[in-house]
Amino acid sequence: MKITPAIIRKWSMLGQRGTAFGIAMPDIASRKDNVKLLTADLSLLSGMERYATDYPGKFLNVGIAEQNMIGIAAGLAMEGDCVFASTYASFIAVRSLEHVRQHLSYLNCNVKIIGSSAGVVAAKSGVSHWATEDIAFMRALPNIKVFSPADGLEVIKVMEYAADNDGPVYIRLSGGLNCPAVYKEDYNFEAGKMIKLSDKGKDVAVIATGLMVSESMKAVEMLSEKGINCSLFDMHTIKPIDKDTLSEIFKDYGLIVTVEEHNVIGGMGSAVAEFKAGFANAPRQIFIGFNDCFANAGSQHYIWENTGLTADKIAVRIETEYKR
Amino acid sequence: MSYSWNETDVEALTAMSKRMRLDAMDMALASGNNGSHLGGSLSCIEILAVLYGKVLSYDVNAPLKPDRDRFIPSKNHCVLAHIPALAEAGFIDKSEILEFQKDGGRLTGYPMRKEIGLEYSGGSLGMAISVGIGIALKMKEQGFDNKVYILMGDGELNEGSIWEAFMSAAHFGLDNLVAIIDRNHLSYDGDTEEVMGIEPLTDKLASFNWHVSTCDGHDVSSLLKAFSDDKKGSPHIIIADTIKGKGVSFIENRREWHHHRLSQAEYVQAVNEINNE
């Protein structure tokens, strides 16, 4: 399909879940025979109606039973299907975790786990519906690739990649409707390769993932006005981590800042730090994310304000750390 | 079901069960101080003999044939019964069965190796039936008339996701799915009805819209009848009443023999009892 700036603007209104199930899945089902999409009673919320109507034989609702869903997905995959299984990230990555470990990770089944509403977008539903540990859980499982796309277009790129490459993946969908477009026009996506989005200087390398790419982009602009020159990288693939680009970053920059809508323990920042630990004389790293805490419920923006994840707060933190 | 049986089959399957029980003792002795899962293996010997000796459709020379029947051990610790059954079927050589705990061995640690009939790797209880449902859905979609058989323990019915699976199998009308419950009445800590009661089991399963058969799990005729008692449109569950540790007096109904070491003297006594049965 031809991806124009106008289409990207339209997709950004759909949000990440909207492009995953309203755009990417129908396209994947139209070109692949062995596709299945499984939901745990969230087809309406997830925007799967068009898909379910057009591809009833490739759709299965298992009811509110996330563990059973992952087991069924594994059974289908063992017999040759390419299975996408989705519900809230908090349920699919936590309640189903043992099924994911045994059946998808260990048995290396061709199942794509799509966790929606990751981070704290389900703000007022409370902590039960937030997912700020899912990257940590999924990253610890062998064979599973972990993706955290920055916007609706990148979601489509990741979904198409997942459909065309065997093996289990976890795709972390963030935000609700109206996901800000990081990519205003079509671009080359390569799984496992970070994308440099802003190149203002070598003072600070800001590495962000998910919705924090867009927030960090604004932060980098603010810092630029203050004479702090940052580069911004979109780490859409958290596992396998992009060792080549990171090696260059460790050589070239004075400070590394990782930004994620996730606990600082076990998340993207941890993945960067684990790799960085092997380098002598590598720069200092600042972890921006949930500081091993939950937060008082409220709107997503309110929670971000209180945990330091808005563009303003990210800019202030980077400025403080840079000047230390 | 597409099979019939006669007295000759019954005699052959009874003899096969006896050989498998003796193999299980050899395996238990070979495991030395590691010990092995004796109780729950001896309770399902006849179930596995009837499956591999009569019910299952498979071809050891074409183990990946798409329309083969699938056997998924949910109580994956039944290795002392399963590995002898695979040897009886010809998937592995009889001489290999004693290597079931060998470091790096191809039978060690409940592996998935479809080429020798090991269709699934599990061990953590309550999880396999969901996988079986996925396989059964795909078999139906492809128009195969084969079946997926799942061997479950009674203790594992305490696990919650099993009931998600029971609900969904009936909802999806999976009449190509057969679950067998090895109802040996003991989980690790004791009598299932004292640890966490699962009765009335027949009523529970029937109320989940499964077709329920009950049988004597140590009587091959009774098992053959139960397997043939299927019903169009419904998943089939067989509650096979069994004795944990069946066939060896000092193991029968003793919870500590769930996983236990077998001494040389105990081995000799056990083999004598099995031979004189």
Give the strands of the sheet with A284-290, arranged side by side: A195-199, A230-234, A204-208, A255-263, A284-290
Quote the pLDDT of residue A2. 87
Share of chain A above pLDDT 70, in %: 100
Is B112 an 8 Å CB contact of chain A?
A: yes
Identify the band that residue B2 occupies on the pLDDT scale cut at 50, 70 and 90: low
**Contacts by B268-277, CB closer than 8 A, 24 or more apart:** B270/B25, B271/B22, B271/B25, B273/B247, B273/B248, B273/B249, B274/B18, B274/B21, B274/B22, B274/B25, B274/B247, B274/B248, B275/B22, B277/B18, B277/B247
Distance from the Cα of B102 to chain A's closest Cα (Å) equals 20
- With the CA atoms of B130, B134, B139 and B141 taken in that order, what torsion angle do they form, in degrees rounded to the nearest 10? 140
Question: Cβ contacts (< 8 Å) between B64 and chain A: which residues?
Answer: none
For chain B, the structural domain boundaries read 7-275
**The domain A5-172: what is its CATH number?**
3.40.50.970
Rounded Cα distance between B16 and B50, Å, is 9
pTM: 0.97
Please state, in angstroms and as integers, the Cα–Cα distance from residue A208 to each residue in A219, A248, A284, B250, following that order.
Answer: 11, 16, 16, 64
Identify the band that residue B1 occupies on the pLDDT scale cut at 50, 70 and 90: low
On the question of a common fold for A5-172 and A195-322, the answer reads yes
**Contacts by A25-28, CB closer than 8 A, 24 or more apart:** A25/A51, A25/A84, A25/A159, A26/A50, A26/A51, A26/A54, A26/A55, A27/A1, A27/A156, A27/A160, A28/A84, A28/A159, A28/A160, A28/A163
Q: Which residue of A has its CA nearest to B172?
A: A62
Is A71 an 8 Å CB contact of chain B?
A: yes
Question: Cβ contacts (< 8 Å) between B138 and chain A: which residues?
Answer: 75-76, 79-81
CA quadruple A102, A106, A107, A109: dihedral sign: positive
Question: Cβ contacts (< 8 Å) between A40 and chain B: which residues?
Answer: none
When CB atoms are compared, the residue of A63, A67, A71 closest to B134 is A71
Architecture of the domain defined by A195-322: 3-Layer(aba) Sandwich (3.40)
Rounded Cα distance between A259 and A242, Å, is 16
Please state, in angstroms and as integers, the Cα–Cα distance from residue A105 to each residue in A100, A138, A182, A321, B120, following that order.
Answer: 6, 9, 31, 38, 14
Quote the pLDDT of residue A1. 72
pLDDT reading at B72 higher than 60: yes
When CB atoms are compared, the residue of B124, B131, B141 closest to A74 is B131
Question: Cβ contacts (< 8 Å) between A71 and chain B: which residues?
Answer: 127-131, 133-134, 161, 165
Structure tokens at A58: 């490739």
How does the average pLDDT of chain A come out, rounded?
97
Choice between A125 and B248, residue whose per-residue pLDDT is larger: B248
Identify the band that residue A124 occupies on the pLDDT scale cut at 50, 70 and 90: confident
For chain A, the structural domain boundaries read 5-172, 195-322
pLDDT, tens only, A232-277:
999 999 999 999 999 999 999 999 999 999 999 999 999 999 999 9
pLDDT reading at B207 higher than 90: yes
Quote the pLDDT of residue B3. 78
Identify the band that residue B249 occupies on the pLDDT scale cut at 50, 70 and 90: very high
Distance from the Cα of B220 to chain A's closest Cα (Å) equals 30
Architecture of the domain defined by B7-275: 3-Layer(aba) Sandwich (3.40)
Identify the band that residue B277 occupies on the pLDDT scale cut at 50, 70 and 90: confident
Rounded Cα distance between B261 and B255, Å, is 13
Quote the pLDDT of residue A315. 98
Choice between B277 and B126, residue whose per-residue pLDDT is larger: B126
Share of chain B above pLDDT 90, in %: 97
Question: Complex ipTM, two decimals?
Answer: 0.96
Identify the band that residue B236 occupies on the pLDDT scale cut at 50, 70 and 90: very high
